[in-house]
Structure 1
Amino acid sequence: MANVWGDLDLLLDSPSSLTVTSTARGTIKEKAGFKAAEDVVALRKAIEGIGTTENTLVDVLTGRSNAQRQLICKAYQEGHLSVLGNNLVPNITVNDHLSCTLCIPACYTHTQGPGTTEATLTEIFASRSNKQIKALSDAYLAETGRSMTHDLKSEVSGDYATTLLILAEGKRDESTNVDTAKAKADAKALYEAGEKKWGTDESKFIDILCHRSVPQLRQTLVEYKALSNKTLQESIEREMSGNLEDLLVAIVKCVKSVPAYLAERLFKSTKGVGTTESILTRIMVGRSEMDMLDIRAEFKKLFGCSLYSTIKVFADNLDRKLCHHR
């Protein structure tokens, strides 16, 4: 894995999911001839029948784009509220343990109650663009009535909190111009703040990694390796520890390749590292219309097996465990 992340040869010419907003690399497309009312009827029959018909739920909800699913939610709530006494999302959640993260902000459950899951917050804020963070912030406010940054401030602390809150502002420079001289200067500043210094000036790492544009940071990574003969990731791992190290490494990885970073997260989740089902659900649903084709390709490149086969083995093992406990 270190060798993969250390390869910077093609970095400057590679597209980035943080700057490219196309849906062409997604696996979920809009269904032609879509009619929300027809899907609502099918879902209602599946949910109200004797035992939930999971195949219907899966076919409908995974065969529609997110925009179409939102129309289904709206039609379901408007047309059947008096019959079911609720809207679509809770009714699906009640049946079995199918996970449908259609409308709920992904980070809400990780800023509430004991045991904030920093790994989830790290993944979300390191891998999202300014536009995506703004949409998440708006959805969080609509769902909870509170600002996202307000809740984050109450749950995290120290340099980790400082870094996370800067990212949560969604104000990373979006310029596509690269200043090579500035990249050299930033690389030198990072080297002097870490490897060359007794102790580490974390604030310098936080400032540069959280504010510079993705193209600028990519040039900085190249300049840093040329200057120090180490990757910036290696230096961060040598100089820091804990949640701050994890977050700064995640930022560096996402600057290089968001799909590769998320492929790594998926692989670890299927091996029991961290909360497994929630990671799988969040990434598979959240990236299905964005860059899932790229995530699949990076997964195969990194781990030598397909994402499909890996998830299938994981799901089969999970089913066996559930059957054992029943």
Structure 2
Amino acid sequence: MASVWDDLNSLLDSPDSLSSPSRGTVKAKAGFNAAEDAAALKKAMDGFGTDEKTLINILTQRSSDQRLQICKAYKDLTGKSLVDHLEGDTHGHFEDILVALVTPPAQFDMQAIKQAMKGAGTTESVLIEILASRSNPQIRALSDAYLKETGRALTYDLKSEVSGDFGKTLLILAEGKRDETKNVDAAKAKADAKALYEAGEKKWGTDESKFIDILCNRSVPQLRQTLVEYKNLSGKTLQQSIESEMSGHLEDALVAVVKCVKSVPAYMAELLHKSMKGAGTKEEMLTRIMVSRSEVDMMDIKVEYKKLFGRSLYSDIESDTSGDYRQTLLGLCGADA
């Protein structure tokens, strides 16, 4: 299972979805007409009973931008928001996923983060998943949405929810200021690898701040080179070192960052598997990932899923979910591969 994370051979040449995402299963529809789609959706929900199939076909086969245009056309046509009608006409996980599909991506991320910090206790895993896997522009967009919705900066609220080294890690990630240069400085990668080795494996106790600083600030290409140098130097992967040196939420966060530097699609494939494995399905997580990655890197996620688990994502969704919810997920997943 760990093998996919230990293999660094093709790392330096593989695409990086943090900076060049365009491998989605959901694409903009050619010959798109927002008013026509809005009318079809209205008809599907009018009167007695709902034509779920039309809702699914339209909402899983339009890009996010097109879905937002449909929302506007729907409001113009009916005077009511599409979200309100969907909420009144559907329910359960099916309702959740349709509403997610007509929510702007930054807004959707922001709502998940807000929900994760609500009430007693914090859902750290959601904060880690989103903040470790999003690009700088995505993080800045969700921060703007957060400020607009709450009147407070995301980092301000995070500070009161998370603390210690884990809190420090999330706060740096939430700034969305990771270096974006494409050039790799080989000497710096060697020096960083050595600094990480000396801050962890080589030392009694671990200097967490060194790990946080390097992993949360350097560019993805630079970190990939550092991961290779680290393995040459220590004989272990950086992920293995973090797992043996650290614990708790800090370990989870830094491992997630390393995994996303290597491959966001493989990281998402693991989470999707986790959302369906064992007793009960974690629909919230399944919905969040399928919706948020459908236009970014879902094609790559499917490939990684097959590599990791020997089964297709499509067949696992099919056997793990049911009804209209299942059909919507399969629509986002795209043909079985």
Q: TM-score, normalised by structure 2?
A: 0.88
Which stretch shows the higher mean deviation, 26-35 or 247-256? 26-35
The residue type paired with residue 152 of structure 1 is L
User: 1:105–1:140: 8 Å Cα contact kept in structure 2?
Assistant: no
Map 1:145-164 → 2, pairs under 5 A: 145-164=151-170
Letter in 2 for 1:39: D
Contact 2:35 2:73 in 1 (8 A): yes
Check 1:275–1:175 CA distance in 2 against 1; reply closer, same or farther (3 A cut).
farther
CA contact (8 A) 2:275 2:286 kept: yes
Q: CA deviation at 1:272?
A: 4.6
Shift of 1:197: 1.1
1:220: how far off? 0.5
CA distance in 2 between counterparts of 1:62 and 1:274 reads 25
| Counterpart position of 1:8 | 8
Q: Structure 1 pair 282/237, CA: closer, same or farther in 2 (3 Å)?
A: same
Q: 1:47 to 1:67 in 2, by over 3 A?
A: same
In 1, Cα distance between equivalents of 2:77 and 2:324: 36
CA offsets 1:74-115 (integer angstroms, 9 cap, x no match): 22223322xx4xx21233134222223123432221122223
Deviations 1:154-190 (A, max 9, x none): 2222111110010010100111111111111111111
Uncovered stretches (5+) of structure 1, i.e. residues with no partner: 321-326
Task: From 127, 131, 134, give the equivalent of 2:133.
Answer: 127
Alignment partners' CA distance in 2, 1:115 and 1:318: 32
Of 46, 49, 52, which residue of structure 1 is paired with 2:47? 49
Matched, 1:28 2:26: yes
Output the CA distance in 1 between the equivalents of 2:86 and 2:142: 23
Distance across 2 between alignment mates of 1:29 and 1:304: 27
2:197 to 191, 196, 201: 191
Stretch moving more, 223-232 or 28-37? 28-37
- Amino acid paired to 1:33: G
Q: d(CA) in 1 for partners of 2:42 and 2:238?
A: 53
- Decide which of 287, 291, 297 is 1:291's aligned counterpart: 297
Among 254, 260, 279, which residue is 1:254 paired with?
260
1:275 CA displacement: 7.1
Q: Distance in 2 between matches of 1:264 and 1:160?
A: 22
Aligned length: 314
In 1: Cα distance, 2:56 partner to 2:325 partner: 17
| 8 Å Cα contact 1:30-1:68 kept in structure 2 | yes
Q: Deviations over 1:53-89 (max 9, x none)?
A: 21111111101100000011122223322xx4xx212
CA distance in 1 between counterparts of 2:267 and 2:280 reads 15
Q: Residue 282 of structure 2 is aligned with which of 272, 276, 288? A: 276
**CA RMSD between the two structures:** 2.0
Shift in alpha-carbon separation, 1:162–1:259, aligned structure 2, 3 A: same
Tell me how far 1:34 sits from its aligned partner.
1.2
Task: Give the equivalent residue in structure 2 for 1:312.
Answer: 318
What is residue 116 of structure 1 aligned with on the other side?
Answer: 122
Distance in structure 2 (CA, Å) of the matches to 1:145 and 1:44: 34
Q: Which residue of 2 aligns with 1:241?
A: 247
Counterpart code for 2:108: P
Match of 1:92 among 67, 74, 86: 86
Q: How far apart in 2 are the matches of 1:142 and 1:52?
A: 34
Offset at residue 146 of structure 1 (A): 2.9
Letter of the structure 1 residue corresponding to residue 43 of structure 2:
K
Contact 2:44 2:50 in 1 (8 A): yes
TM, length-normalised to structure 1: 0.91
Structure 1 residue aligned with 2:108? 105
Cα offsets for 1:121-146 (capped at 9, x unmatched) = 10101111111111211222333333
The question of whether the paired residues in 2 share the 8 Å contact of 1:105 and 1:139 is answered with no
SS in 2 for 1:29: coil
